[in-house]
């Protein structure tokens, strides 16, 4: 009888622990990293429409200014690793042999063909098993064009998919006499993205700029501080004074692998204590590094480490994984 009672108490405690663990898990968001970029050339409107159809929560826009101050959706300040600029405008490169978005007007940029990412020195495609280089007909586009696509699709489908714009290299823009942030904030405001309730998350690697956006420019948007280097994570408390979340490289969450299981740094725990959401980048099924499968990566970071969302080139796979566990934020 005594042993039965003991057994019952143990069972109850185990159940409680499991329930607590489940309750602790937050519902997660899927962010289409540069669109459904594993399947179509990154940051094309086609890749964004495909991501939309995959029922992600947010679609990402990296932003750089054109010569005539149009915010262009492109990952880098350079054009030569995703377009045919080198053959269309061979004389427009700078001394460093690179072609810069900021040296071209919107109309000129529109004449370029966009392709799958490649190394401009060797011509080699970055992810060889993705969409074939130079196939198809893709163009660059502005932030306004992309917002109109997403808002239009939201209207026609009844979905509420958000945008996740990134201010790219604000210091470079300032040196060139441009203010990317003010242009982007104006466009967001014009299209109704004003507060944390407006389905827009604004991100930046430059901590001074993101803090300025909150403190000086008084933005009420949901702000995410991107983290590139491990040491920056030491400033978490300061980030929490102006940001609502962090976007670390996923490796900053992993500590080591012991007997087939990953252990974690304190980053997620400390961020959650400061009420910061954690959206690590980048989940790629074709670049697994320390993981033996994509499923292991998803299980490890989304479930075991309990992050709040994932930037992914494979939105369909992450949506499917989270839906199966009833962990996808609706």
* 16-35 footprint of ligand G3P as x/- string (CB under 6 A): -----------------x--
**Number of neighbouring beta carbons within 10 Å of residue 18:** 10
Determine if 226 is a binding residue for ligand G3P (CB under 6 A).
Answer: yes
Residues 54/36, Cβ–Cβ less than 8 Å: yes
| From 75, 141, 173, 279, the catalytic residue | 75
- Contacting ligand G3P (CB under 6 A), which of 61, 203, 219, 306? 203
Q: Give the footprint of Ca ion on this chain (CB under 5 A).
A: 62, 166
Task: Output the 3-class SS for 151-195.
Answer: HHHHHHHCCCCEEEEEECCHHHHHHCCCCHHHHHHHHHHHCCCCE
- Min dist CB 181 to Ca ion, Å, is 15
* 92-131 footprint of ligand G3P as x/- string (CB under 6 A): ----------------------------------------
Determine if 165 is a binding residue for ligand G3P (CB under 6 A).
Answer: no
Cα 213 from Cα 219, distance rounded (Å): 6
Cα 112 from Cα 109, distance rounded (Å): 6
Cα 271 from Cα 307, distance rounded (Å): 10
Q: Element (H or E) spanning 29, and its range?
A: strand 29-32
Choose among Ca ion, ligand G3P, none what residue 235 binds, the Cβ cut-off being 5 to 8 Å by kind: none
- Contacting ligand G3P (CB under 6 A), which of 58, 222, 281, 294? 281
Helices and strands of the chain, counted as H and E runs: 12, 11
Alpha-helix runs per DSSP H in 54-138: 85-88, 106-109
Report the SS3 class of residue 146. helix
Report the SS3 class of residue 62. strand
Choose among Ca ion, ligand G3P, none what residue 311 binds, the Cβ cut-off being 5 to 8 Å by kind: ligand G3P
- Contacting ligand G3P (CB under 6 A), which of 58, 283, 311, 321? 311
- Min dist CB 127 to ligand G3P, Å, is 13
- Min dist CB 103 to ligand G3P, Å, is 21
* 33-62 footprint of ligand G3P as x/- string (CB under 6 A): x----------------------------x
Nearest-CB residue for ligand G3P: 281
> In residues, how long is the chain?
330
Is-catalytic flag, 33? Answer: yes
Cα 269 from Cα 248, distance rounded (Å): 13
- Min dist CB 82 to ligand G3P, Å, is 13
Report the SS3 class of residue 135. coil
Residues binding ligand G3P (CB under 6 A): 33, 62, 75, 166, 203, 226, 247, 281-282, 311
Catalytic residues: 33, 75
């Amino acid at each position: 009888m005594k042993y039965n009672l003991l057994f019952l108490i143990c069972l109850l405690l185990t159940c409680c622990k499991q329930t607590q663990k489940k309750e602790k898990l937050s519902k997660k968001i899927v962010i289409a990293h540069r669109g459904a970029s594993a399947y179509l050339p990154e940051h094309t409107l086609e890749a964004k429409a495909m991501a939309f159809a995959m029922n992600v929560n947010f679609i990402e826009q990296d932003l750089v200014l054109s010569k005539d101050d149009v915010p262009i959706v492109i990952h880098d300040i350079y054009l030569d690793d995703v377009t045919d600029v080198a053959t269309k405008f061979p004389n427009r490169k700078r001394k460093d042999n690179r072609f810069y978005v900021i040296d071209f007007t919107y109309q000129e940029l529109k004449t370029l063909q966009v392709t799958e990412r490649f190394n401009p020195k060797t011509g080699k495609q970055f992810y060889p098993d993705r969409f074939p280089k130079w196939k198809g007909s893709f163009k660059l586009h502005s932030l306004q064009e992309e917002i109109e696509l997403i808002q239009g699709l939201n209207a026609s489908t009844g979905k509420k998919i958000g945008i996740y714009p990134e201010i790219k290299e604000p210091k470079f823009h300032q040196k060139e006499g441009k203010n990317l942030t003010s242009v982007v904030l104006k466009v967001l405001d014009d299209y109704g993205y004003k507060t944390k309730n407006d389905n827009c998350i604004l991100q930046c690697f430059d901590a001074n700029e993101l803090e300025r956006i909150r403190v000086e420019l008084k933005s009420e948007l949901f702000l995410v501080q991107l983290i590139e280097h491990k040491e920056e994570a030491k400033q978490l408390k300061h980030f929490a004074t102006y940001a609502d979340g962090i976007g670390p490289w996923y490796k900053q969450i992993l500590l080591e692998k012991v007997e087939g299981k990953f252990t974690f740094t304190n980053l997620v725990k400390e961020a959650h204590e400061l009420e910061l959401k954690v959206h690590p980048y980048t989940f790629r099924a074709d670049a697994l590094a320390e993981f033996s499968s994509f499923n292991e990566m998803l299980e490890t970071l989304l479930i075991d480490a309990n992050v709040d969302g994932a930037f992914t080139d494979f939105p369909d796979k992450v949506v499917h994984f989270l839906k199966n566990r009833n962990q996808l934020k609706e």
